[in-house]
């Protein structure tokens, strides 16, 4: 093994630790930080990111990469892939000048802080100046990366999250679903109308009791609270590191299902992080395959497993006892139908799995238009309303239920939204393959036992880290790259055949 490669491993270990520190600061910013402390936090995060940028963009790293690549015959397959990922990260980093990175990072922190106020007041005008400034910087970043990577600006942003999913593949997936959804949605709604409407048991559902229930659900999946924690925040997310997982949710005392399903979702993310190969803990190859694959792991837990009839045969009494409930509203069948209720809705994170891809398609189209210069930020609310009507035939009542509901654009995560639908479709493919490989997975869920499912995922996804791309993992585990067929088959089975 060359000295250059060993030196690169040492440098990327340091970069990984800096990234982890930034992640913890962002967790604190979302969960614990006082409202008026964002300026100081922005300085901390910006300087840490600048240090990382200086390390990676130094001329010696370029020399080490070239030397290691020339001596790659000395490396094994994992090391070669690790070196390729080092080069990829170097390209993404060096494409962006330091002054642009600094301005972008500071703008992200400020815009996110203002977004929280604008969202609370449901007033898009409050965030517009910051969004215009941030979008300008995002477009500069996209252009710089596009020139280095030789791909379109929007795809250069997407490549930061999923390196082998191209615009053409995304367009094909969304176009296919756009053809599938209208008639299917009408069939599902008609089928539902012929059955009694499931009803949420009578609340209020006190937050402390919800927290206990959510903890029980996370533990069932396999989350270890001796090295992790659960907190409340405005916009749920999963963060931390493998040895210190941080999952968050938001509680609604009128509806316990939102927090419970949210925690199951974030626990799926956390389990993927915890399952990464320890041998490569601080190396690029020891990270996850991509955010689409990451989302698939959360959706396998939440949508595929935890909205199944089998799961509710175990979960129903656990839920009932958590709130000392009684009556038919707590029955497994009612709770299952409640969890699989389909309706047109405004909020992406609360949408059912049938209409969810429409929410993602909307954001995908709008952010591409903004990056390409075809949509100005000031026109975003009206464009949102117009396309929402086209996709789901309803209009959001205000900005909070429209273009202010998600953090992504205001936190600088442009190109991220498609990963949600990548994840949903990949989850269906993987879960179908897992059930075929081990028929006991479904019956185990009926006992609240996720371990057979998690063992299969650990072997076929988690243990691989970033050794393979999302499409490559799917090809190996399911026999084909990302396709919409398994997802559509899953929807037909759950919402028509078994309804």
Q: What is the CATH number of the domain that holds 346?
A: 1.10.1370.30
Together in a domain, 367 and 487: yes
Predicted pLDDT at 498: 81
For residues 28 and 164, state if they share a domain. Answer: no
What is the rounded distance in angstroms from the CA atom of residue 4 to the CA atom of residue 71?
9
245 assigned to some structural domain: no
Decide if 351 is inside a domain. yes
The per-residue pLDDT for 46 is 87
Question: Are 454 and 383 members of one domain?
Answer: yes
pLDDT at 103 over 80: yes
Residue 150 lies in a domain: no
Average pLDDT of the chain is 95
**Which is more confidently placed, 38 or 13?**
13
Over residues 403-412, the mean pLDDT reads 96
Residues 206 and 90 placed together within one structural domain of the fold = no
pLDDT at site 350: 82
499: pLDDT strictly greater than 80: no
* pLDDT class of 1 with cuts at 50, 70, 90: confident
pLDDT of the residue at 77: 97
Domain count, the chain: 2
Q: For residues 197-216, give the mean pLDDT.
A: 95
136 part of a folded domain? no
* 103 assigned to some structural domain: no
Q: Could you tell me if 196 and 330 lie in one domain?
A: yes
pLDDT value for 35: 85
| Chain centroid, CA 472 distance in Å | 19
**What's the mean pLDDT in 109-123?**
95
Tell me what pLDDT residue 42 has.
Answer: 86
**Interatomic CA distance for residues 21 and 498, integer angstroms:** 47
Residues 27 and 174 in one domain: no
Is the pLDDT at 163 greater than 90? The verdict is no
Residue numbers of the domain that contains 55: 1-95
Same domain? 90 vs 160: no
Judge whether 242 lies within some domain.
Answer: no
Tell how far CA 219 is from the center of its chain. Answer: 21
- 43, 67, 95 - which closes a domain: 95
Please determine, for residue 235, whether its predicted confidence score (pLDDT) is greater than 90: no
Q: What is the mean pLDDT of residues 422-449?
A: 97
Distances from the Cα of 191 to the Cαs of 196, 341, 484, 494, in angstroms?
11, 11, 23, 12
Taking only the tens place, the pLDDT of each residue in 354-378 is 999 999 999 999 999 999 999 999 9
Q: Which pLDDT tens digit goes with each residue over 438-490?
A: 999 999 999 999 999 999 999 999 999 999 999 999 999 999 999 999 999 99
Q: 271 and 378, same structural domain?
A: yes
Same domain for 165 and 309:
yes
Percent of the chain with pLDDT over 90: 89
* Chain center to CA of 336: 24
Per-residue pLDDT of 57-100, as tens digits, reads: 999 999 999 999 999 999 999 999 999 999 999 999 899 998 99
**Do 353 and 466 fall into the same domain?**
yes
Sequence-separated (6 or more) residues with CB below 8 Å from residue 276 = 242, 286, 287, 288, 462, 465
Q: Final residue of a domain: which of 46, 67, 95?
A: 95
Domain termination site, one of 49, 68, 95: 95
271 CB-near residues (< 8 Å, 6+ apart): 221, 222, 223, 297, 301, 454, 457, 462
Q: Are residues 90 and 159 in the same domain?
A: no
Q: Averaged over 297-326, what is the pLDDT? A: 97
What confidence score (pLDDT) does residue 145 get? 96
Residue 188 has what pLDDT? Answer: 97
List of long-range contacts for 181-190, beta carbons under 8 Å, 24+ apart: 181/354, 181/355, 181/357, 181/358, 184/354, 184/488, 184/491, 184/492, 185/342, 185/354, 185/355, 187/496, 188/342, 188/354, 188/495, 188/496, 188/499, 189/342, 189/343
Check whether 142 has a pLDDT greater than 90: yes
Structural domain contains residue 134: no
- pLDDT for 234 equals 82
> Are 44 and 193 contained in the same domain?
no
Per-residue pLDDT tens digits for 289-308: 999 999 999 999 999 999 99
- In-domain check, residue 264: yes
pLDDT at residue 258 is higher than 80: yes
């Amino acid at each position: 093994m060359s000295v250059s490669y060993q030196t690169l491993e040492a440098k990327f270990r340091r970069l990984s630790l800096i990234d982890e520190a930034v992640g913890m600061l962002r967790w604190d910013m979302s969960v614990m930080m006082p409202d008026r402390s964002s300026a100081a936090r922005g300085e901390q995060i910006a300087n840490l990111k600048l240090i990382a940028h200086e390390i990676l963009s130094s001329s010696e790293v370029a020399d080490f990469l070239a030397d290691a690549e020339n001596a790659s015959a000395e490396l094994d397959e994992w090391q070669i892939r690790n070196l390729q990922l080092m080069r990829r990260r170097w390209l993404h980093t060096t494409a962006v000048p330091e002054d642009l990175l600094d301005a972008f990072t500071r703008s992200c922190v400020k815009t996110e802080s203002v977004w929280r106020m604008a969202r609370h007041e449901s007033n898009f005008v409050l965030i517009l100046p910051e969004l215009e400034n941030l979008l300008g910087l995002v477009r500069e970043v996209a252009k710089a990366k596009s020139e280095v990577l030789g791909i379109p600006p929007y795809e250069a942003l997407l490549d930061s999250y999923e390196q082998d999913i191209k615009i053409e593949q995304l367009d094909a997936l969304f176009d296919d679903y756009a053809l599938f959804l209208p008639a299917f949605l009408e069939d599902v709604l008609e089928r539902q109308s012929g059955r009694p409407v499931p009803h949420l048991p009578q609340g209020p559902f006190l937050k402390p009791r919800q927290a206990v229930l959510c903890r029980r659900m996370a533990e069932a999946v396999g989350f270890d609270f001796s090295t992790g924690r659960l907190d409340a925040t405005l916009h749920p997310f999963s963060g931390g590191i493998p040895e210190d997982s941080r999952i968050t949710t938001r509680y609604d005392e009128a509806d316990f299902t939102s927090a419970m399903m949210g925690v199951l979702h974030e626990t799926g993310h956390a389990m993927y992080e915890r399952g990464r190969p320890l041998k490569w803990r601080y190396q690029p190859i020891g990270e996850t395959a991509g955010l689409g694959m990451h989302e698939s792991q959360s959706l396998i837990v939440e949508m595929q497993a935890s909205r199944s009839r089998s799961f509710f045969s175990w979960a129903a009494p656990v839920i009932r006892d958590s709130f000392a409930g009684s009556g038919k509203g707590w029955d497994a069948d009612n709770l299952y139908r409640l969890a699989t209720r389909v309706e047109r809705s405004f909020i992406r994170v609360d949408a059912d799995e049938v209409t969810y891809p429409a929410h993602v398609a909307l954001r995908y189209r709008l952010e591409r238009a903004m990056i390409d210069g075809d949509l100005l930020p000031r026109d975003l609310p009206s464009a949102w309303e117009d396309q929402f009507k086209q996709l789901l035939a309803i209009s959001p009542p205000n900005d909070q239920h429209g273009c202010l509901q998600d953090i992504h654009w205001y936190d600088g995560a442009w190109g991220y939204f498609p990963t949600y639908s990548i994840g949903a479709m990949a989850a269906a493919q993987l879960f179908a393959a897992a059930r075929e490989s081990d028929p006991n997975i479904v019956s185990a869920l009926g006992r609240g036992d996720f371990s057979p499912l998690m063992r299969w995922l650990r072997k076929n996804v988690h243990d691989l880290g970033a050794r393979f791309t999302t499409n490559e993992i799917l090809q190996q585990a399911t026999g084909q790259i990302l396709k919409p067929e398994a997802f559509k088959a899953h929807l037909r089975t759950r919402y028509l055949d078994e309804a």
